[in-house]
């Protein structure tokens, strides 16, 4: 397994900001650690040794880059991928570059997608009986998964359709169902009774269709323990270093970090304000650094006056509003001398605190990290 590395080491390794007349304009970088994503995947396997671990790579692998992340996960042993859209499935297939893997498309069977599904060898996830009939009509040989809705009320066969299929399992005759699945609504809140109820309902489905591999758990579900593991796991967030159940311990390491350079430094006198709307006012002398990253890069406006970055181990609070391209941070307490070009780190191990400060969840701002970043993929471990 790849050893976990601290945010500080990650940044130190990558620091290239030495003062130098020939230097180009300093630009923010998004650093994605493929080796950490692989070690998070290995942790999922350790947590559920009896199950296969798939990987959810929808929305461009949570905004981080399916082209790089899918092959890294395949090299770590992953053979089952899940996406939301057919197009994402095509991208995942291309990224695999011939490595063998099953790719499931969550959003249902839509007959017009059939040529694309066939060409990229994608397996639709059937969400209602009408889709099952369409599949039987148009592509009975196409492997698929069956999604049962056990309480989320989002996608999947609802309770009546589930009962109808259990009463008449011949409706699956000659259909190549490779997986039955369901999705947990409250896995991030282990004490919620809906978890146990969904588990009970899914067990009933499983008993009705023995022999078909069953899949229930997302990242947070994996942490609910072996009862929830079944045959195939579907983690997403945990792989990318998010905390699946905020407020509970997480064994996963941060894999994403923003490294944004200081552009300018100034001293505030008491009474001075920072940024649009003058929403921060200094009550004592402060030193602030203006950093080259903003909401255009996905640092949410809601991080203003609440979020923070880091210089080394020192927290530097975000002062005032986040602008489109800029953020002000308070560097008064930073011991080292900071010059323009010095990197300020955001996210890393602070990902859940940051989500909290913006009243959102890490999922949301991961998928919104901007396209303007210079993206750096730290190399993955060797192929196994
Ligand atoms: C997104 C998704 C997952 C992965 O969820 P995480 O919480 O990111 O682990 C699993 N299953 C389904 C159906 C999903 O939509």
**Ligand 1 pocket, residue 234 CB under 6 Å:** yes
CATH number reported for the structural domain that contains residue 366 in this entry: 2.40.37.10
d(CA 378, CA 381): 10
Q: Is residue 85 part of a domain?
A: yes
Same domain, 200 and 190: yes
Catalytic residue (one of 41, 43, 58, 377): 58
- Which of 56, 64, 107 maximizes ligand 1 atoms within 8 Å of its Cβ, making it the mutation to test the pocket? 56
Q: Is residue 250 part of a domain?
A: no
**Ligand 1 pocket, residue 105 CB under 6 Å:** no
What sign results for the dihedral spanned by CA atoms 142, 147, 148, 149?
A: negative
CATH number reported for the structural domain that contains residue 189 in this entry: 3.20.20.10
Same domain, 188 and 317: no
Same domain, 92 and 160: yes
Same domain, 136 and 281: no
CB atoms within 10 A of CB 333: 12
Q: Is residue 214 part of a domain?
A: yes
Total residues found in the chain within this entry: 384
Same domain, 208 and 281: no
Split into its structural domains, the chain has a count of 2
- Measuring CA to CA, which residue among 201, 348, 180, 325 is closest to residue 263? 325
Residue that is written with structure tokens 């300093």 in the block: 26
Q: Is residue 3 part of a domain?
A: no
Same domain, 183 and 74: yes
Question: Residue 78: helix, strand or coil by DSSP?
Answer: coil
pLDDT of residue 69: 98
| 271 touches 281 (CB < 8 A) | yes
Same domain, 195 and 271: no
Of the residues 240, 263, 291, the one at which a domain ends: 240
Q: Which domain holds residue 110?
A: 34-240
Same domain, 206 and 234: yes
SS (H, E, C) 115-153: HHHHHCCEEEEECCHHHHHHHHHHCCCCCEEEEECCCCC
pTM: 0.91
Of the residues 240, 273, 291, the one at which a domain ends: 240
Same domain, 319 and 360: yes
SS (H, E, C) 305-371: CCCEEEECCEEEEEECCCCCCCEEEECCCCCCCCCCCCEEEEEHHHHHHHHHHCCCCHHHHHHCCCC
Q: How many A from CA of 377 to the centre of ligand 1? A: 23
Q: Is residue 323 part of a domain?
A: yes
Q: Is residue 2 part of a domain?
A: no
| 334 touches 316 (CB < 8 A) | yes
Phi, psi of 45 (to 5 degrees): -65, -35
| 368 touches 22 (CB < 8 A) | no
**Ligand 1 pocket, residue 183 CB under 6 Å:** yes
232-233 and 327-330 beta bridge pairing: unpaired
- Measuring CA to CA, which residue among 71, 38, 68 is closest to residue 53? 38
Q: Is residue 74 part of a domain?
A: yes
Which residues are within 8 A (CB) of 116 and not within 5 positions of it... i.e. 6 or more apart? 86, 87, 89, 90, 122
Torsion of the alpha carbons at 369, 370, 373 and 379, rounded to the nearest 10:
40
| 318 touches 283 (CB < 8 A) | no
Longest dimension (CA), the chain: 78
Of the residues 240, 270, 289, the one at which a domain ends: 240
d(CA 104, CA 56): 9
pLDDT of residue 334: 95
pLDDT of residue 16: 46
pLDDT of residue 383: 57
Taking CA atoms, 68 is separated from 34, 44, 75, 253, 372, in Å, by: 8, 20, 11, 18, 17
Q: Which two tokens stand for residue 264?
A: 């300018």
**Ligand 1 pocket, residue 106 CB under 6 Å:** yes
Positions of the chain with pLDDT under 70: 1-23, 382-384
pLDDT of residue 6: 46
Same domain, 233 and 300: no
- Which of 183, 239, 363 maximizes ligand 1 atoms within 8 Å of its Cβ, making it the mutation to test the pocket? 183
Phi, psi of 325 (to 5 degrees): -120, 0
| 277 touches 306 (CB < 8 A) | no
Q: How many A from CA of 218 to the centre of ligand 1? A: 5
| 51 touches 77 (CB < 8 A) | no
d(CA 170, CA 352): 47
Same domain, 58 and 152: yes
- Measuring CA to CA, which residue among 319, 321, 330, 339 is closest to residue 286? 330
Nearest CA to ligand 1 atom 3: 218
Which residues are within 8 A (CB) of 193 and not within 5 positions of it... i.e. 6 or more apart? none
Taking CA atoms, 354 is separated from 83, 198, 246, 294, in Å, by: 26, 31, 12, 14
Same domain, 183 and 65: yes
Q: How many A from CA of 97 to the centre of ligand 1? A: 24
pLDDT of residue 358: 92
User: What integer best gives the mean pLDDT of the chain?
Assistant: 93
Helix count and strand count (H, E) for the chain:
12, 19
**Ligand 1 pocket, residue 348 CB under 6 Å:** no
In the residue annotation, 15 being an active-site residue is answered as no
Q: Is residue 221 part of a domain?
A: yes
């Amino acid at each position: 397994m790849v050893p976990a590395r601290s945010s500080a080491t990650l940044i130190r390794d990558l620091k290239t900001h030495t003062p130098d007349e020939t230097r180009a304009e300093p630009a923010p970088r998004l650093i994605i650690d493929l080796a950490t994503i692989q070690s998070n995947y290995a942790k999922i396997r350790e947590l559920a040794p009896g199950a296969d671990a798939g990987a959810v790579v929808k929305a461009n692998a949570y905004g981080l880059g399916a082209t790089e992340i899918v092959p890294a996960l395949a090299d770590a042993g992953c053979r089952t991928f899940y996406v939301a859209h057919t197009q994402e499935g095509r991208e995942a297939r291309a990224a695999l570059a011939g490595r063998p893997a099953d790719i499931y498309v969550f959003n249902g069977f839509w007959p017009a997608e059939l040529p694309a599904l066939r060409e990229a060898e994608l397996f639709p996830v059937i969400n209602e009986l009408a889709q099952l009939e369409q599949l039987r009509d148009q592509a009975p040989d196409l492997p698929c998964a069956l999604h049962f809705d056990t309480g989320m009320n989002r996608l999947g066969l609802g309770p009546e359709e589930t009962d109808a299929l259990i009463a008449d399992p011949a409706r699956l005759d000659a259909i190549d169902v490779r997986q039955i699945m369901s999705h947990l609504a409250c896995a991030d809140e282990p004490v919620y009774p809906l978890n146990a109820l969904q588990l009970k309902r899914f067990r009933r489905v499983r008993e009705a269709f023995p022999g078909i591999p069953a899949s229930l758990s997302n990242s947070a579900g994996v942490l609910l323990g072996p009862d929830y593991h079944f045959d195939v796991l579907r983690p997403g967030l945990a792989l990318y270093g998010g905390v699946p159940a905020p407020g509970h311990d997480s064994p996963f390491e941060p894999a994403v970090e923003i490294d944004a350079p200081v552009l300018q430094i100034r001293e505030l006198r008491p009474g001075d304000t920072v940024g649009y709307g003058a929403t921060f006012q200094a009550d004592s002398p402060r030193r602030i650094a203006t950093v080259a990253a903003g909401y255009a890069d996905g640092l949410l406006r809601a991080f203003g006056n609440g979020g923070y970055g880091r210089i080394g181990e020192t927290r530097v609070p975000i002062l005032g509003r986040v602008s489109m391209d800029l953020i002000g941070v308070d560097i008064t307490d930073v011991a080292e001398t900071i010059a323009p070009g010095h990197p300020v780190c955001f996210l890393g191990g602070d990902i859940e605190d940051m989500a909290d400060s913006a009243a959102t969840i890490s999922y949301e701002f991961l998928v919104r990290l901007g396209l303007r970043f210079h993206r750096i993929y730290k190399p993955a471990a060797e192929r196994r």
